[in-house]
Amino acid sequence: MATLDIGGVTVQRDRPVPMRDGVVLAADIYSPSGAHEPLPILIQRTPYNKLFAQTGVYQHPAWYARRGYVVVVQDTRGRFASGGDFEPYAHEAEDGADTVGWAAALPGTTGRVGTFGFSYAGMNQLLAAGLRPPALACMAVGCAGSDFHDGWTYRGGALQLAFILSWTIQALAGPDAARQDRDAARRVRDIATNVPQALKRPLTAWLQSGEFPRFFADWIEHEARDGYCASLVSSTLHRDSAVPCRHVTGWYDIFVEGGVRNFQLLSTQSPAAAAQHLVVGPWQHVPWMTVNGIIDHGPTAENPIDELQLRWFDRWLKERPLNDSWSRVRYFLMGADCWQEAANWPPHPQSCVLHLHSSGCAGSRLSDGRLLIDPPLDQPPDIFVYDPGDPVPSIGGASCCSADVAPIGAFDQRGVESRNDVLVYTSPTLTDDCDVIGAVELHLHAASDAVDTDWTAKLVDVHPDGTAINICDGILRARYRQSPSCPQPLVPGDVHAYRISLGVTAMRFKAGHAIRLEVSSSNFPCYDANPNTGGRLATEEPIDARVATQIVYHQPGRESRLVLTVGESRPFFEP
């Protein structure tokens, strides 16, 4: 165990932290030198190397120590300097609670503990809070999901391929190198240097290769929601937590729906319901910057989280007034590029419905697909062909964690929209600004000649010069249309009503712009390309895939419509 001084902060490296089952984890402790009174404690538990301490979005732990805190940064179980085996989320509740209890007994501390961290280091805070460790007084949870199945591994029943593949490679890289398994480290590095090539390998090849850990195979094998996910995240998690929490996420964060849902559920179910705050910026999962994709949101979009967290910790750990002028909910309104405040989310839960219209040509390069307030009269359906061997490429969106795999954030979609397998529906030009603030959903009447397929949807902001910027998107695997737990194959040709969540957003569609919807059956590699066979991911080979003919209806009794949650300004269009 080494000790060093960095600018008035004493750092103890690799302090052993015993867990209830005998495994010993390693932590670094940052303390202000010469402190004359007991100080409260901040804990970050990270699988991404405690030496980095998630400084890609936060200030260094020494910054918090200089402001009157003892900061503990710990490698989670099986990662870097910590003992045990890494099984994502399997031990985080108990390990987190044990670490809180251990830290509360450190000499020179008050015994009051706050936690912080984002992504995995956000979710593990919620899991630990569910056990109600007595010393835990507050949390600052960043970019965390609320459900291990939907929103982490899968979304709408489709595998979040780009995320789980890049995350697994990242998870493998650190400990192999740190523990001097040089051959394993070289193999992982070879994969990591060409992740796009890795995506071309079928999942069955990865499962059979033995190169990836058991948890990766578990994710693929448990594609339907079952007891495996329940064993990792309790269904009573939000009722069990009794801790004030500041939730932080971004509109292009892969876990934005989970972050908002955590806030909403804890605001209604937790004993600390009134002490839940939400901050949503215009950011992707990481980093939290003013520029996201090709859009610069300006200086107001700068990352304010360290100062906000410091005031939050001062309130709950030092009993100081919350010196914070914002309300419980603070969200960045994209398009207007300004912060807004609200007492709850969504601030104005009112819906606006735009119906899909066309003459049957929404998928051609001369598309006449329209979004209109009025429901359609009798119109021919739109038809396109989905080939799993040539999926629609992911150009932006809320993916993670490598831009080499798929561009992340806001990008021009006109290249994608030129494909005949992407249906495009565009509103008339807006005469006034329209704020879409809240959930976005597509109610789709559609049919396929396959026994299973996917339906994808994307909300797009069309600028006066034609630039088409993606705002949010979603997917639904047809066999999970009724339940994520019980797959039901399609009868080829049968028409079904699908509800496709496009997530949540806060976007001002400006006067002179238009609202656009894209509908297709793939968004690769954000999601795996459905082979249209209804077979299990763990067994399906590319040679098994089949081409599907897809039909989208918009006629009386089979209306398809885009449902927007709007603010006080509703859409008004040019005649």
In sequence order, what DSSP letters do the residues of 200-248 get, joined into one string?
Answer: TS-HHHHHHHS-S-HHHHHHHHT-S--HHHHHHS-TTHHHH----EEEE
Which residues touch 46 (CB under 8 Å, ≥6 apart)? 52, 53, 54, 73, 74, 75, 76, 79, 117, 120, 121
Confidence class for position 258, pLDDT limits 50, 70, 90: very high
376-388 in b/e form (b: 16+ CB < 10 A) is beebebbebebeb
- Tracing tokens 């569910």 back to the chain, one arrives at 130
Q: Which of 135-139, 286-290, 516-520, 537-541 has the lowest mean pLDDT?
A: 537-541
Structure token pair of residue 383? 């038809």
Q: With left for phi above 0 and alpha for psi between -120 and 50, is residue 454 left, alpha or beta?
A: beta
* Calpha distance 10→33 (Å, rounded): 6
Residue 469 near residue 295, CB atoms below 8 Å: yes
350-566: CATH superfamily: Galactose-binding domain-like (2.60.120.260)
Which stretch of DSSP H or E encloses residue 272? none
The pLDDT value recorded for residue 236 is 86
Structure token pair of residue 352? 């606006």
The pLDDT value recorded for residue 176 is 52
The pLDDT value recorded for residue 279 is 97
Strand partners, 372: 355
Of 485, 551, 543, which is closest to residue 521 (Cα–Cα)? Answer: 551
Q: Which of 86-95, 237-246, 402-411, 479-488 has the lowest mean pLDDT?
A: 402-411
Which residues touch 37 (CB under 8 Å, ≥6 apart)? none
* Calpha distance 564→373 (Å, rounded): 12
Cis preceding-peptide flag for 401 (omega within 30 of 0): yes
Structure token pair of residue 30? 């940052």
119 is catalytic: yes
Report, as an integer, the average pLDDT of 552-574. 89
Of 90, 98, 105, which is closest to residue 74 (Cα–Cα)? Answer: 98
- Of 91, 285, 357, 513, the catalytic one is 285
The pLDDT value recorded for residue 104 is 98
The pLDDT value recorded for residue 321 is 87
More confident residue, 211 or 351: 351
Confidence class for position 179, pLDDT limits 50, 70, 90: low
285 is catalytic: yes
Q: Which of 51-60, 151-160, 349-358, 536-545 has the lowest mean pLDDT?
A: 536-545
pLDDT, the chain, mean: 93
The pLDDT value recorded for residue 182 is 67
* Calpha distance 460→458 (Å, rounded): 6
Which stretch of DSSP H or E encloses residue 339? strand 338-342
The pLDDT value recorded for residue 261 is 97
pLDDT exceeding 90 applies to what percent of the chain?
A: 79
Report, as an integer, the average pLDDT of 396-402. 87
* Calpha distance 27→79 (Å, rounded): 11
Positions of E strands within 402-453: 423-426, 434-448
The pLDDT value recorded for residue 247 is 98
Q: For the domain with range 3-150+235-278+303-325, which CATH number is right: 3.40.190.10, 3.40.50.300, 3.40.50.1820, 3.40.50.2300?
A: 3.40.50.1820
Confidence class for position 218, pLDDT limits 50, 70, 90: very high
Q: Which of 175-179, 204-208, 241-245, 295-299 has the lowest mean pLDDT?
A: 175-179
Residue 75 near residue 175, CB atoms below 8 Å: no
Sequence ranges of the domains in the chain: 3-150+235-278+303-325, 158-222, 350-566
Which residues touch 279 (CB under 8 Å, ≥6 apart)? 246, 247, 248, 249, 305, 308, 330, 331
Report, as an integer, the average pLDDT of 390-395. 96
The pLDDT value recorded for residue 406 is 77
Structure token pair of residue 55? 């400084």
Confidence class for position 1, pLDDT limits 50, 70, 90: low
Residue 42 near residue 14, CB atoms below 8 Å: no
Q: Which of 359-363, 402-406, 535-539 has the lowest mean pLDDT?
A: 402-406
Predicted confidence (pLDDT) at residue 575 exceeds the cutoff of 80? no
What pLDDT, in 10s, does the model give residues 424-437? 999 999 999 999 99
Please report the DSSP string for 532-557 in residue order: SS---TTT--GGG---EEEEEE-STT
Cis preceding-peptide flag for 346 (omega within 30 of 0): yes
Report, as an integer, the average pLDDT of 51-65. 97
The pLDDT value recorded for residue 168 is 86
Predicted confidence (pLDDT) at residue 160 exceeds the cutoff of 70? yes
- Of 28, 75, 150, 253, the catalytic one is 253
Angle at 280 between CA 276 and CA 282, to 5 degrees: 175
351 three-class SS: strand
Report, as an integer, the average pLDDT of 541-547. 93
- Of 31, 82, 119, 427, the catalytic one is 119
Q: Report the relative pairing of strands 382-386 and 496-509 from DSSP bridges.
A: unpaired
Structure token pair of residue 421? 């397998």
The pLDDT value recorded for residue 252 is 97
Please, how many CA atoms are within 13 Å of residue 119, restricted to the half-sphere of its CB? Answer: 21
The pLDDT value recorded for residue 188 is 67
* Calpha distance 43→27 (Å, rounded): 10
The pLDDT value recorded for residue 405 is 72
What pLDDT, in 10s, does the model give residues 97-148? 999 999 999 999 999 999 999 999 999 999 999 999 999 999 999 999 998 8
Strand partners, 410: none
Q: Which of 78-82, 203-207, 412-416 has the lowest mean pLDDT?
A: 203-207
- The pair phi, psi for residue 210, each rounded to 5°, is 75, 5
247 is catalytic: no
Ordered alpha helix ranges (H), 233-334:
237-240, 256-269, 305-317
- Tracing tokens 């304010």 back to the chain, one arrives at 304
Q: Report the relative pairing of strands 39-46 and 136-142 from DSSP bridges.
A: unpaired
The pLDDT value recorded for residue 201 is 80
What pLDDT, in 10s, does the model give residues 2-44? 778 888 999 999 999 999 999 999 999 999 998 889 999 999 9
The pLDDT value recorded for residue 210 is 75
The pLDDT value recorded for residue 567 is 81
Predicted confidence (pLDDT) at residue 225 exceeds the cutoff of 80? yes
